[in-house]
Amino acid sequence: MQLMRIKIMTWNELIDIEKDQPYFIQLMNFLDTELQSKTIYPKKEDWFQAFHLTPLESVKVVIIGQDPYHGKDQAHGLSFSVKTSKLPPSLKNIYKELQIDLQITPPITGDLTPWAKQGVLLMNTVLTVEESKPYSHQQKGWEIFTTKVIEVLSQRKNPIVFILWGNHARSYKKWVNNSNHLVIEGPHPSPLSAYHGFFGSNPFSKTNDFLEKHNVSPIDWRIK
């Protein structure tokens, strides 16, 4: 994959470039066909929600997920986030670590929009999924687009924290090749791995320490 060399100033600029690429055209054709007979999550208007809520110039932190939740009323375009109080196991563990790290009482809601509005890009590497079929839209083209996103962010001068939980997210580390940024790696917060190094890893305080060190306002991780 060729590294992005054009200076991208907004997410819309990136999308405008990519939408004419053969892989992206093929991806959209695939999704149009799938929508005719299958239920796809999140809703079409939310496929790029992470980018609408967190403009490129505002990005301070990136939290990479894999693909959207595949159950009804869960995915809404932000990694790990749901708009309900019925929390998925991984998000429950993220909230537990938030309490361990910063003594923040776990929120009732799973909606992470307040993080996104502060500059936390909550991006899955695959932006859609078929209902009840996890990983069903892998290798359809989304990974090419989201890798371009990481490349664009890596080239920026302003310091950014990349939080990579689990092997899948960590595979994107190779696209972050700018010493201005901080990469925080760790186990995935899923119940299968959270007790193998995720709990007690302090990613939230480490992120804020780095931002403050570089004169960037820290993230208020509380969900009110």
SS (H, E, C) 14-62: HHHHHCCCHHHHHHHHHHHHHHHHCCEECCHHHCCHHHHHCCHHHCCEE
Q: Which tens digits make up the pLDDT trace of 177-190?
A: 999 999 999 999 99
| pLDDT grade for 7, boundaries at 50, 70 and 90 | confident
Beta bridge partners of 61: 120, 161
State the pLDDT at residue 59: 98
Q: Which two tokens stand for residue 182?
A: 């901080």
Closest CA to 14 of 138, 125, 5: 5
Q: Which tens digits make up the pLDDT trace of 191-223?
A: 999 999 999 999 999 999 999 999 999 999 999
User: CA-CA distance, 125 to 17, in Å (whole number)?
Assistant: 18
Closest CA to 69 of 53, 91, 50, 49: 91
Complete domains list, the chain, with CATH = 11-214 (3.40.470.10)
User: CA-CA distance, 201 to 206, in Å (whole number)?
Assistant: 9
Name the residues annotated as catalytic. 67
SS (H, E, C) 112-126: CHHHHHCCEEEEECC
Q: Which tens digits make up the pLDDT trace of 118-149?
A: 999 999 999 999 999 999 999 999 999 999 99
User: CA-CA distance, 175 to 153, in Å (whole number)?
Assistant: 9
Q: Which tens digits make up the pLDDT trace of 26-68?
A: 999 999 999 999 999 999 999 999 999 999 999 999 999 999 9
